[in-house]
A = this chain, B = another copy of it.
Amino acid sequence: MRTEILTTAAELFRARGYRATTLDDLARRLGMSKATVYGHFRSKEDLLAAIFHRTMTLAEAGLAAIRASGLPPAEQLREVIRHHVRLVVAERAFLTVFFSEEGSLPARLQKDIVRRKARYDRTVRAIVERAARAGQVRVAEPRLLVLALLGMSNWVYRWYHPGRGRAWDADTIAAAFIDLVERGYLATPAARGREVGRRLQRLEGEIRALRPLLRGISRP
**Using a CB–CB distance below 8 Å, which chain A residues touch chain B?**
16-17, 19, 74, 99-100, 103, 135-141, 144-145, 147-148, 150-156, 158-159, 168, 173, 176-177, 179-193, 196-197, 199-200, 203-204, 206-207, 210, 213-214, 216-218
A154 nearest in chain B by CB position: B155
Known contacts A151-B153, A200-B203, then 7 further A-B pairs from the complex at CB < 8 Å, ordered by chain A residue: A135-B191, A138-B187, A144-B176, A145-B180, A147-B159, A207-B210, A214-B214
Closest to A146 in B: B159
Nearest B residue to A166 via CB reads: B143
Number of copies: 2
Which of B17, B150, B181, B216 sits near A185, CB closer than 8 Å? B181
If A182-B185, A184-B182, A189-B183 touch, does A148 touch B136 (CB 8 Å cutoff)?
no
CB pair B191–A192 under 8 Å, yes or no, is: no
Q: Is the CB of A185 within 8 A of B152?
A: no
- Complex Cα spacing A203 to B189, Å: 22
Our pick among B19, B140, B184, B193 for the contact of A184 (Cβ within 8 Å) is B184
* A13 to B9 CA separation, bound complex (whole angstroms): 25
CB-CB < 8 A to A183: which residues of B? 184, 186, 189
How distant is the Cα of A158 from the Cα of B138 in the complex, in angstroms?
A: 25
When C-beta atoms are compared, the residue in chain B nearest to A168 turns out to be B144
Residue of B nearest to A15 (CB): B103
* A138–B185 CB distance below 8 A: yes
Question: Would you call B180 and A136 a contact (CB within 8 A)?
Answer: no
- Smallest CB–CB gap between A70 and chain B, Å? 20
